[in-house]
Amino acid sequence: MTRYDLIVIGSGPAGQKAAICAAKHGKRSAVVERSITVGGVCLHQGTIPSKTLRQAVIYLAGLGQRELYGSAYRVKDRISIGDLSYRTQRVIEQETNVVRDQLLRNYVDIIPGTARFLTPQTIEVIEEDGTRKLEAEKVIIAVGSTPARPSNVQFDDRTVIDSNGLLKLEEIPHDLCVVGAGIIGIEYATFFQSLGTRVTLIDGRERPLDFVDNELEDALIYHLRDAGMVIRFGETVSQVSCDSSGHIEIDLQSGKEVGAEAVLFSAGRMGSTNGLQLEKIGIQPDDRGRIKVDEFYRTSAENVYAVGDVVGFPTLASSAMEEGRIAACHAFGIPASPMTSLLPFGIYTIPEISMVGPTEEDLTKLAVPYETGIARYRELARGQIMGQTKGLLKILFHRETLKLLGVHILGEQATELVHIGQAVMALNGTIEYFRDAVFNYPTLAEAYKVASLNGFNKL
């Protein structure tokens, strides 16, 4: 039986960082990965493919140039799935090599196979040619998640699909119905709308992105409707059927009917805990396959930790990396900074959304005396140069102390711009910093100065 200090189950962002962190502190580490390549769901089905797809869509559809050259402008007249997947596969291949190289350079053993627990410190790995047993002082579960599939829907992975199946479509559908307007659903809805697909977006909630500032969510929905998307919020799907020609019919409980060539169900995600035999070590996942952990990511089983999507919120690749580092450090008594409370969130719709800190609605509930400062992309020279005039940056600040409380952005490069505000907030800065700072001109970052001046005007 091979012995390690640490065994990590899963090689996604959380597992990778956990194994490398332990290895850098002199611990013998191994990663067990059931897929043929490392990187996990994030690299092969989730974050990296979807964001690469978004970039390919923006480029090939010429979206960044239409403000300047007209709505008919595009780099390629007939965009195919092959055009989109080519770029996606190149990025996946390169990133897979990077992850493998990082693990090997840090002397982390990569063990292919499916892991399951025999005891809290003993793992059995099912390989192609048999099984092997591994023993470790500590174990970290980083198995990620998979798309949830409603039991009343018959998926055929061709016309009725989940987010994994979307990446395997043979051609771009003329009509697509997306059921579920959470982050994943609304991202893919905007991608395909940008390709010219007629998209219908359905969700049972009136505000599916309820953690997003209301003004930004309203602005995004306005832009999507203005571009032709049909949005049915507050509606529930009662039945999905397929006729003899392969056309999909979606019946809503309100009596409405929606027709489409394909339907994407985005019903959240489930922790990939099936097959781990967690019952043998006293861990009971919830009905979504998620594992309960404490602030150090310890489970109810001694010496067993869990990190990443499998522990639930915030289910971000960025935070998962930190969770992996913190868990590995705690497991071996290594001092580590706790997870920051200033987590930036990014929604890679077209246009994208990013935010850090509380929303206006949050501050109102807390009775915090705040004011807003707003800069619109159309006011920025850089926005005009880029042909990106749909967007806004909003800062929230304390009326008396001027302390920056939150940043909310809709528009191109929102997920990059948000980190300027995040840094100022982490240092307890005020909006006077933005007013007095000199920004490169012309830039989108200049929006912070414009927003701060707007805020001072309101005072």
Q: Are 141 and 305 in contact (CB under 8 A)?
A: yes
Q: Report the amino acid identity of residue 124.
A: E
Q: How many CA atoms lie within 13 A of 243 on its CB side?
A: 8
Residues 6+ apart with CB under 8 A from 286: 292
Q: Are 134 and 123 in contact (CB under 8 A)?
A: yes
Domains annotated for the chain, with CATH where assigned, are: 2-147+270-331 (3.50.50.60), 160-267 (3.50.50.60), 351-458 (3.30.390.30)
Place of tokens 């809290």: 120
pLDDT tens-digit map of 193-216: 999 999 999 999 999 999 999 999
pLDDT tens-digit map of 232-242: 999 999 988 88
Q: What is the pLDDT of residue 60?
A: 87
Is residue 454 over pLDDT 70? Answer: yes
Q: Are 201 and 185 in contact (CB under 8 A)?
A: yes
Residues 6+ apart with CB under 8 A from 2: 30, 132, 133, 134, 135
Distance CA 181, CA 37 (A): 31
pLDDT tens-digit map of 31-74: 999 988 999 999 998 999 999 999 999 988 887 777 767 766 77
pTM, rounded to two decimals: 0.93
Distance CA 239, CA 244 (A): 17
- In our burial notation (b when 16+ CB lie closer than 10 A, e otherwise), range 350-377 reads bbbbbbbbbbbebbeeeeeebbbbbbbb
